[in-house]
Amino acid sequence: MPRPLQVALIGAKFMGRAHSNAWRQAGCFFDLPRPIALHTIAARDAQELEAFAAQWGWPNWTVRWKDIAEDTSIDLVDIGTPNHVHKEQALAMLEAGKHVACEKPLASTLAEARDMKDAAKRAKGKTFVWFNYRRCPAVALAHQLVAEGRLGSIYHVRAHYLQSWGGPKTPLSWRFDKKRAGSGAHGDLNAHIVDMTRFVTGEEITEVHGAVARTFIKERVRPGSTAKRPGKGKSTVDDAVLFLASLTNGATASFEATRLAAGHQNRNSIEINGSKGSLRFDFEDMNVLWFHDETESPRTAGWRRIMCTNVAGQHPYAENWWPDAHVLGYEHGFTNMAADIVRALSRKKPTVALPDFASAYETQRVLEAALISAKERCAIKMREVR
Ligand code: SOE
Protein backbone atom coordinates (compact mmCIF):
# COMPACT_ATOMS: atom_id res chain seq x y z
CA MET A 1 0.00 0.00 0.00
CA PRO A 2 1.62 3.33 -1.03
CA ARG A 3 2.09 5.97 1.67
CA PRO A 4 -0.96 8.30 1.92
CA LEU A 5 -0.63 11.83 0.57
CA GLN A 6 -0.75 14.00 3.70
CA VAL A 7 -2.79 17.12 2.97
CA ALA A 8 -3.07 20.37 4.94
CA LEU A 9 -5.52 23.16 4.19
CA ILE A 10 -5.38 26.88 5.04
CA GLY A 11 -8.81 28.55 5.16
CA ALA A 12 -12.06 27.42 6.74
CA LYS A 13 -14.75 29.50 5.05
CA PHE A 14 -16.56 28.80 1.75
CA MET A 15 -13.51 27.42 -0.06
CA GLY A 16 -12.40 25.62 3.12
CA ARG A 17 -15.63 23.63 2.98
CA ALA A 18 -15.44 22.98 -0.77
CA HIS A 19 -11.82 21.80 -0.55
CA SER A 20 -12.27 19.75 2.65
CA ASN A 21 -15.14 17.92 1.00
CA ALA A 22 -13.04 17.29 -2.12
CA TRP A 23 -10.11 15.78 -0.21
CA ARG A 24 -12.51 13.60 1.82
CA GLN A 25 -14.48 12.35 -1.18
CA ALA A 26 -11.81 11.85 -3.86
CA GLY A 27 -10.48 8.58 -2.44
CA CYS A 28 -13.99 7.14 -2.09
CA PHE A 29 -15.09 7.79 -5.67
CA PHE A 30 -11.80 7.42 -7.56
CA ASP A 31 -9.41 4.51 -7.70
CA LEU A 32 -6.32 6.56 -6.82
CA PRO A 33 -2.66 5.56 -7.02
CA ARG A 34 -2.28 6.46 -3.33
CA PRO A 35 -4.69 7.23 -0.50
CA ILE A 36 -5.37 10.77 0.74
CA ALA A 37 -5.00 11.61 4.43
CA LEU A 38 -6.42 14.82 5.88
CA HIS A 39 -3.66 16.06 8.19
CA THR A 40 -4.12 19.66 9.41
CA ILE A 41 -6.48 22.58 8.92
CA ALA A 42 -5.32 26.14 9.64
CA ALA A 43 -7.40 29.30 9.96
CA ARG A 44 -7.53 32.39 12.16
CA ASP A 45 -10.48 31.85 14.47
CA ALA A 46 -9.60 29.17 17.07
CA GLN A 47 -13.18 28.71 18.29
CA GLU A 48 -14.70 28.22 14.86
CA LEU A 49 -11.74 26.13 13.74
CA GLU A 50 -12.05 23.43 16.37
CA ALA A 51 -15.66 22.79 15.37
CA PHE A 52 -14.76 22.97 11.66
CA ALA A 53 -11.96 20.42 12.10
CA ALA A 54 -14.30 18.04 13.94
CA GLN A 55 -17.06 18.43 11.36
CA TRP A 56 -14.88 17.90 8.30
CA GLY A 57 -12.53 15.27 9.72
CA TRP A 58 -9.26 17.15 10.13
CA PRO A 59 -7.37 15.45 13.00
CA ASN A 60 -5.21 18.53 13.71
CA TRP A 61 -5.91 22.24 13.63
CA THR A 62 -3.80 25.35 14.16
CA VAL A 63 -4.20 29.12 14.07
CA ARG A 64 -0.55 29.43 12.99
CA TRP A 65 -0.43 28.46 9.31
CA LYS A 66 3.38 28.59 9.46
CA ASP A 67 3.27 25.42 11.62
CA ILE A 68 2.32 23.59 8.44
CA ALA A 69 5.52 24.64 6.66
CA GLU A 70 7.54 23.29 9.59
CA ASP A 71 5.76 19.93 9.69
CA THR A 72 7.80 17.56 7.54
CA SER A 73 5.07 14.93 7.48
CA ILE A 74 2.82 17.14 5.30
CA ASP A 75 3.16 16.65 1.51
CA LEU A 76 0.66 19.04 -0.02
CA VAL A 77 -0.70 22.36 1.19
CA ASP A 78 -4.01 23.65 -0.13
CA ILE A 79 -4.48 27.43 0.09
CA GLY A 80 -8.10 28.61 0.32
CA THR A 81 -7.52 32.08 1.79
CA PRO A 82 -8.19 35.63 0.50
CA ASN A 83 -6.08 36.59 -2.52
CA HIS A 84 -3.58 38.93 -0.82
CA VAL A 85 -2.10 36.15 1.35
CA HIS A 86 -1.68 33.56 -1.42
CA LYS A 87 1.85 34.69 -2.23
CA GLU A 88 3.26 34.64 1.31
CA GLN A 89 1.68 31.28 2.08
CA ALA A 90 2.55 29.64 -1.24
CA LEU A 91 6.17 30.78 -1.15
CA ALA A 92 6.61 29.54 2.43
CA MET A 93 5.21 26.13 1.50
CA LEU A 94 7.22 25.82 -1.72
CA GLU A 95 10.39 26.74 0.17
CA ALA A 96 9.55 24.01 2.69
CA GLY A 97 9.46 21.53 -0.22
CA LYS A 98 5.68 21.00 -0.32
CA HIS A 99 3.30 20.70 -3.25
CA VAL A 100 0.86 23.62 -3.32
CA ALA A 101 -2.73 23.82 -4.57
CA CYS A 102 -3.89 27.46 -4.51
CA GLU A 103 -7.35 29.01 -4.94
CA LYS A 104 -7.91 31.31 -7.92
CA PRO A 105 -7.10 34.00 -8.85
CA LEU A 106 -3.43 33.18 -8.33
CA ALA A 107 -2.79 36.45 -6.48
CA SER A 108 -4.21 39.90 -5.90
CA THR A 109 -1.66 41.61 -8.20
CA LEU A 110 0.32 40.62 -11.27
CA ALA A 111 3.62 41.28 -9.43
CA GLU A 112 2.65 38.78 -6.71
CA ALA A 113 1.52 36.27 -9.33
CA ARG A 114 4.88 36.64 -11.09
CA ASP A 115 6.79 35.97 -7.85
CA MET A 116 4.64 32.87 -7.31
CA LYS A 117 5.24 31.60 -10.83
CA ASP A 118 9.01 32.17 -10.46
CA ALA A 119 9.09 30.46 -7.06
CA ALA A 120 7.20 27.48 -8.51
CA LYS A 121 9.76 27.18 -11.29
CA ARG A 122 12.60 26.91 -8.73
CA ALA A 123 10.70 24.61 -6.36
CA LYS A 124 10.81 20.86 -5.96
CA GLY A 125 7.06 20.68 -5.28
CA LYS A 126 4.38 20.82 -7.96
CA THR A 127 1.76 23.58 -8.13
CA PHE A 128 -1.94 23.57 -8.97
CA VAL A 129 -4.61 26.28 -9.15
CA TRP A 130 -8.27 25.58 -8.39
CA PHE A 131 -9.92 26.51 -11.66
CA ASN A 132 -12.61 24.04 -10.68
CA TYR A 133 -14.94 24.58 -13.65
CA ARG A 134 -12.49 22.82 -16.00
CA ARG A 135 -13.59 19.66 -14.27
CA CYS A 136 -17.33 19.88 -14.88
CA PRO A 137 -17.91 16.95 -17.26
CA ALA A 138 -19.57 19.30 -19.79
CA VAL A 139 -16.60 21.69 -19.85
CA ALA A 140 -14.08 18.84 -20.09
CA LEU A 141 -16.14 17.37 -22.95
CA ALA A 142 -16.18 20.77 -24.70
CA HIS A 143 -12.37 20.81 -24.46
CA GLN A 144 -12.17 17.30 -25.95
CA LEU A 145 -14.54 18.12 -28.83
CA VAL A 146 -12.55 21.23 -29.77
CA ALA A 147 -9.26 19.27 -29.57
CA GLU A 148 -10.79 16.60 -31.87
CA GLY A 149 -11.59 19.30 -34.43
CA ARG A 150 -15.39 18.99 -34.15
CA LEU A 151 -15.75 22.79 -34.23
CA GLY A 152 -13.25 23.31 -37.09
CA SER A 153 -11.55 26.72 -36.97
CA ILE A 154 -12.77 28.80 -34.10
CA TYR A 155 -14.13 32.24 -34.93
CA HIS A 156 -15.76 33.50 -31.75
CA VAL A 157 -15.78 33.01 -28.00
CA ARG A 158 -18.54 34.71 -26.02
CA ALA A 159 -18.09 34.29 -22.29
CA HIS A 160 -19.82 35.83 -19.34
CA TYR A 161 -19.97 35.19 -15.65
CA LEU A 162 -23.02 36.86 -14.12
CA GLN A 163 -23.83 36.96 -10.42
CA SER A 164 -26.22 39.16 -8.46
CA TRP A 165 -25.13 38.95 -4.82
CA GLY A 166 -23.21 42.26 -4.85
CA GLY A 167 -26.16 44.66 -4.58
CA PRO A 168 -26.21 47.74 -2.30
CA LYS A 169 -27.36 45.76 0.74
CA THR A 170 -24.35 43.41 0.65
CA PRO A 171 -21.99 44.49 3.44
CA LEU A 172 -18.29 45.16 3.08
CA SER A 173 -15.98 42.13 3.18
CA TRP A 174 -12.47 41.42 1.92
CA ARG A 175 -14.00 40.88 -1.51
CA PHE A 176 -14.70 44.65 -1.77
CA ASP A 177 -11.24 45.70 -0.59
CA LYS A 178 -8.70 46.20 -3.37
CA LYS A 179 -5.78 45.65 -0.98
CA ARG A 180 -7.01 42.17 -0.15
CA ALA A 181 -8.91 41.05 -3.26
CA GLY A 182 -6.89 42.89 -5.93
CA SER A 183 -10.08 43.51 -7.93
CA GLY A 184 -13.80 42.73 -7.65
CA ALA A 185 -15.90 40.75 -10.12
CA HIS A 186 -12.90 40.86 -12.47
CA GLY A 187 -10.41 38.71 -10.51
CA ASP A 188 -13.17 36.64 -8.97
CA LEU A 189 -15.20 35.82 -12.08
CA ASN A 190 -13.36 36.91 -15.25
CA ALA A 191 -10.47 34.76 -13.96
CA HIS A 192 -12.71 31.71 -14.39
CA ILE A 193 -13.92 32.52 -17.91
CA VAL A 194 -10.47 33.54 -19.14
CA ASP A 195 -9.11 30.22 -17.86
CA MET A 196 -12.08 28.37 -19.37
CA THR A 197 -11.52 30.03 -22.76
CA ARG A 198 -7.82 29.14 -22.74
CA PHE A 199 -8.62 25.59 -21.65
CA VAL A 200 -11.50 24.82 -24.02
CA THR A 201 -10.05 26.46 -27.14
CA GLY A 202 -6.36 25.72 -26.51
CA GLU A 203 -5.67 29.28 -27.71
CA GLU A 204 -4.02 32.15 -25.83
CA ILE A 205 -5.18 35.76 -25.70
CA THR A 206 -2.95 38.00 -27.80
CA GLU A 207 -4.55 41.41 -27.32
CA VAL A 208 -7.19 43.18 -25.26
CA HIS A 209 -8.88 45.67 -27.60
CA GLY A 210 -10.84 47.59 -25.02
CA ALA A 211 -12.27 47.20 -21.53
CA VAL A 212 -14.75 48.93 -19.23
CA ALA A 213 -14.56 48.66 -15.44
CA ARG A 214 -17.34 50.11 -13.25
CA THR A 215 -17.90 50.49 -9.54
CA PHE A 216 -21.60 51.25 -9.13
CA ILE A 217 -21.78 50.88 -5.37
CA LYS A 218 -19.05 52.99 -3.88
CA GLU A 219 -20.01 52.69 -0.21
CA ARG A 220 -21.23 49.66 1.69
CA VAL A 221 -22.38 48.98 5.23
CA ARG A 222 -19.76 47.60 7.55
CA PRO A 223 -20.59 44.14 8.90
CA GLY A 224 -22.19 44.37 12.33
CA SER A 225 -23.42 47.94 11.84
CA THR A 226 -26.87 48.63 13.31
CA ALA A 227 -29.44 51.42 13.13
CA LYS A 228 -28.02 52.69 16.42
CA ARG A 229 -24.41 52.36 15.33
CA PRO A 230 -24.44 52.80 11.56
CA GLY A 231 -21.15 52.44 9.78
CA LYS A 232 -20.20 52.60 6.14
CA GLY A 233 -16.95 52.07 4.33
CA LYS A 234 -15.67 52.43 0.79
CA SER A 235 -15.76 49.62 -1.77
CA THR A 236 -12.49 49.94 -3.67
CA VAL A 237 -13.09 47.27 -6.34
CA ASP A 238 -15.05 46.99 -9.58
CA ASP A 239 -18.60 45.60 -9.59
CA ALA A 240 -18.38 44.80 -13.30
CA VAL A 241 -15.65 44.49 -15.95
CA LEU A 242 -16.24 43.84 -19.68
CA PHE A 243 -13.59 43.44 -22.36
CA LEU A 244 -12.97 42.39 -25.97
CA ALA A 245 -9.95 40.36 -27.01
CA SER A 246 -8.28 38.38 -29.81
CA LEU A 247 -6.96 34.84 -29.61
CA THR A 248 -3.79 33.37 -31.13
CA ASN A 249 -5.72 31.94 -34.11
CA GLY A 250 -7.36 35.31 -34.81
CA ALA A 251 -10.71 34.48 -33.16
CA THR A 252 -12.59 37.25 -31.36
CA ALA A 253 -13.53 36.89 -27.70
CA SER A 254 -15.76 38.86 -25.36
CA PHE A 255 -15.77 38.62 -21.58
CA GLU A 256 -18.16 40.07 -19.01
CA ALA A 257 -18.08 39.64 -15.23
CA THR A 258 -20.55 41.27 -12.88
CA ARG A 259 -22.02 40.87 -9.42
CA LEU A 260 -25.00 43.05 -10.29
CA ALA A 261 -26.87 40.99 -12.90
CA ALA A 262 -30.20 40.67 -11.09
CA GLY A 263 -31.80 37.32 -11.81
CA HIS A 264 -28.50 35.57 -12.57
CA GLN A 265 -26.97 33.89 -9.56
CA ASN A 266 -24.05 31.88 -10.88
CA ARG A 267 -24.35 32.09 -14.65
CA ASN A 268 -20.89 31.08 -15.76
CA SER A 269 -21.37 30.67 -19.52
CA ILE A 270 -19.39 30.26 -22.66
CA GLU A 271 -20.37 29.91 -26.31
CA ILE A 272 -17.87 29.03 -29.02
CA ASN A 273 -18.56 29.27 -32.76
CA GLY A 274 -16.35 27.53 -35.31
CA SER A 275 -16.39 26.66 -39.02
CA LYS A 276 -17.89 23.22 -38.33
CA GLY A 277 -20.11 23.92 -35.37
CA SER A 278 -20.76 25.58 -32.05
CA LEU A 279 -20.74 24.75 -28.33
CA ARG A 280 -22.58 26.35 -25.43
CA PHE A 281 -22.26 25.81 -21.66
CA ASP A 282 -24.02 27.45 -18.72
CA PHE A 283 -23.08 26.46 -15.18
CA GLU A 284 -26.66 26.94 -13.94
CA ASP A 285 -27.40 23.82 -16.04
CA MET A 286 -23.95 22.37 -15.48
CA ASN A 287 -24.50 18.77 -16.57
CA VAL A 288 -25.50 19.84 -20.07
CA LEU A 289 -23.38 20.79 -23.08
CA TRP A 290 -25.14 22.20 -26.14
CA PHE A 291 -23.56 21.24 -29.47
CA HIS A 292 -24.52 22.27 -32.97
CA ASP A 293 -22.88 20.33 -35.82
CA GLU A 294 -22.82 22.58 -38.87
CA THR A 295 -21.70 19.68 -41.10
CA GLU A 296 -25.01 17.86 -40.69
CA SER A 297 -27.81 18.18 -43.21
CA PRO A 298 -29.58 21.53 -42.68
CA ARG A 299 -32.84 19.56 -42.71
CA THR A 300 -32.15 18.14 -39.29
CA ALA A 301 -29.17 20.12 -37.94
CA GLY A 302 -29.79 22.08 -34.77
CA TRP A 303 -28.68 22.48 -31.20
CA ARG A 304 -28.22 19.13 -29.50
CA ARG A 305 -28.59 18.90 -25.73
CA ILE A 306 -25.93 16.49 -24.43
CA MET A 307 -26.42 15.20 -20.90
CA CYS A 308 -22.74 14.88 -19.98
CA THR A 309 -22.86 12.24 -17.28
CA ASN A 310 -23.15 9.22 -19.51
CA VAL A 311 -20.90 6.29 -18.65
CA ALA A 312 -21.25 4.56 -22.05
CA GLY A 313 -20.57 7.91 -23.71
CA GLN A 314 -17.27 7.98 -21.79
CA HIS A 315 -17.97 11.47 -20.61
CA PRO A 316 -15.10 12.80 -18.51
CA TYR A 317 -15.39 11.70 -14.85
CA ALA A 318 -18.79 10.01 -15.48
CA GLU A 319 -17.63 6.49 -14.56
CA ASN A 320 -16.51 7.70 -11.11
CA TRP A 321 -19.94 8.95 -10.08
CA TRP A 322 -23.51 7.88 -10.52
CA PRO A 323 -25.46 5.99 -13.19
CA ASP A 324 -26.27 7.96 -16.37
CA ALA A 325 -27.89 11.36 -15.81
CA HIS A 326 -27.92 11.06 -12.03
CA VAL A 327 -26.23 14.46 -12.36
CA LEU A 328 -23.37 16.20 -10.55
CA GLY A 329 -23.17 19.51 -8.67
CA TYR A 330 -20.76 22.31 -7.76
CA GLU A 331 -18.74 20.21 -5.32
CA HIS A 332 -17.93 17.49 -7.85
CA GLY A 333 -15.64 19.81 -9.84
CA PHE A 334 -13.46 20.19 -6.74
CA THR A 335 -13.48 16.46 -6.00
CA ASN A 336 -12.59 15.65 -9.62
CA MET A 337 -9.71 18.10 -9.28
CA ALA A 338 -8.44 16.63 -6.00
CA ALA A 339 -8.41 13.20 -7.69
CA ASP A 340 -6.52 14.57 -10.71
CA ILE A 341 -3.97 16.24 -8.40
CA VAL A 342 -3.27 12.92 -6.67
CA ARG A 343 -2.88 11.22 -10.05
CA ALA A 344 -0.52 13.92 -11.30
CA LEU A 345 1.61 13.59 -8.17
CA SER A 346 1.98 9.87 -8.95
CA ARG A 347 2.96 10.58 -12.57
CA LYS A 348 -0.45 9.42 -13.80
CA LYS A 349 -2.36 11.40 -16.42
CA PRO A 350 -5.13 13.63 -15.06
CA THR A 351 -8.46 13.36 -16.95
CA VAL A 352 -7.89 16.84 -18.40
CA ALA A 353 -4.98 19.28 -17.99
CA LEU A 354 -4.35 20.75 -14.53
CA PRO A 355 -3.45 24.46 -14.42
CA ASP A 356 -0.24 25.22 -12.50
CA PHE A 357 1.16 28.58 -11.31
CA ALA A 358 2.68 29.24 -14.75
CA SER A 359 -0.70 28.74 -16.43
CA ALA A 360 -2.58 30.81 -13.83
CA TYR A 361 0.01 33.57 -14.31
CA GLU A 362 -1.00 33.72 -17.99
CA THR A 363 -4.62 34.19 -16.95
CA GLN A 364 -3.53 36.88 -14.48
CA ARG A 365 -1.67 38.71 -17.29
CA VAL A 366 -4.90 38.85 -19.28
CA LEU A 367 -6.78 40.23 -16.25
CA GLU A 368 -4.07 42.87 -15.81
CA ALA A 369 -4.21 43.82 -19.51
CA ALA A 370 -7.97 44.38 -19.19
CA LEU A 371 -7.51 46.60 -16.13
CA ILE A 372 -4.84 48.68 -17.89
CA SER A 373 -7.05 48.93 -20.97
CA ALA A 374 -10.00 50.14 -18.88
CA LYS A 375 -7.85 52.72 -17.09
CA GLU A 376 -5.92 54.03 -20.11
CA ARG A 377 -8.82 53.59 -22.56
CA CYS A 378 -6.63 51.88 -25.10
CA ALA A 379 -5.82 48.49 -26.63
CA ILE A 380 -3.12 46.41 -24.92
CA LYS A 381 -1.02 43.80 -26.65
CA MET A 382 -0.34 40.85 -24.35
CA ARG A 383 3.39 40.95 -25.06
CA GLU A 384 3.44 44.39 -23.34
CA VAL A 385 2.21 42.88 -20.06
CA ARG A 386 4.87 41.05 -18.06
C1 SOE B 1 -18.02 34.33 -5.40
O2 SOE B 1 -18.23 35.27 -6.37
C3 SOE B 1 -17.64 32.96 -5.93
O4 SOE B 1 -17.71 32.12 -4.86
C5 SOE B 1 -16.23 32.86 -6.52
O6 SOE B 1 -15.25 33.28 -5.61
C7 SOE B 1 -15.99 31.47 -6.99
O8 SOE B 1 -14.71 31.32 -7.53
C9 SOE B 1 -17.06 31.14 -8.01
O10 SOE B 1 -16.87 29.85 -8.46
C11 SOE B 1 -18.42 31.26 -7.42
O12 SOE B 1 -18.58 32.55 -6.90
User: Do residues 287 and 307 lie in contact, with contact meaning Cβ atoms separated by under 8 Å?
Assistant: yes
How much is the pLDDT for 104?
A: 98
CA distances from 379 to 75, 237, 244, 382, 383 (A): 43, 22, 9, 10, 12
State the distance from the centre of ligand 1 to the C-alpha of 14, rounded, in angstroms: 9
CA-nearest residue for atom 2, ligand 1, is 188
Q: Which atom of ligand 1 is nearest to the CA of 191?
A: 8
User: Which residues belong to CATH 3.40.50.720 in the chain?
Assistant: 5-132
Span 110-160, pLDDT tens digits: 999 999 999 999 999 999 999 999 999 999 999 999 999 999 999 999 999
Length of the chain in residues, anyone?
Answer: 386
Q: Which atom of ligand 1 is nearest to the CA of 14?
A: 4
Q: What angle do CA 4, 14, 255 make, to 5 degrees?
A: 105
DSSP helix/strand/coil, 306: strand
CA-nearest residue for atom 11, ligand 1, is 266
How much is the pLDDT for 170?
A: 97
State the distance from the centre of ligand 1 to the C-alpha of 104, rounded, in angstroms: 9
State the distance from the centre of ligand 1 to the C-alpha of 317, rounded, in angstroms: 22
How much is the pLDDT for 1?
A: 84
State the distance from the centre of ligand 1 to the C-alpha of 255, rounded, in angstroms: 16
CA-nearest residue for atom 8, ligand 1, is 188
Which residue type does 163 have?
A: Q
- Low-confidence stretches of the chain (pLDDT < 50) are none
CA atoms within 13 A on the CB side of 129: 26
User: Which residues belong to CATH 3.30.360.10 in the chain?
Assistant: 136-324+357-376
Which of 188, 258, 332, 367 has the most ligand 1 atoms within 8 A of CB, as the residue to mutate? 188
Of 185, 197, 127, nearest to 159 by C-alpha is 197
CA-nearest residue for atom 6, ligand 1, is 188
How much is the pLDDT for 352?
A: 96
How much is the pLDDT for 224?
A: 81
Q: What number does CATH give the domain 136-324+357-376?
A: 3.30.360.10
Q: Which atom of ligand 1 is nearest to the CA of 103?
A: 8
State the distance from the centre of ligand 1 to the C-alpha of 189, rounded, in angstroms: 7
Of 188, 190, 180, 197, nearest to 211 by C-alpha is 190
Q: Which atom of ligand 1 is nearest to the CA of 330?
A: 10
Q: Which residues line ligand 1 (CB under 6 A)?
A: 163, 188, 266
State the distance from the centre of ligand 1 to the C-alpha of 140, rounded, in angstroms: 19
State the distance from the centre of ligand 1 to the C-alpha of 349, rounded, in angstroms: 27
Q: Which atom of ligand 1 is nearest to the CA of 185?
A: 2
State the distance from the centre of ligand 1 to the C-alpha of 142, rounded, in angstroms: 21
Q: Which atom of ligand 1 is nearest to the CA of 132?
A: 10
**Contact partners, residue 376, CB within 8 Å, separation at least 6:** none
Superfamily of chain region 5-132: NAD(P)-binding Rossmann-like Domain (3.40.50.720)
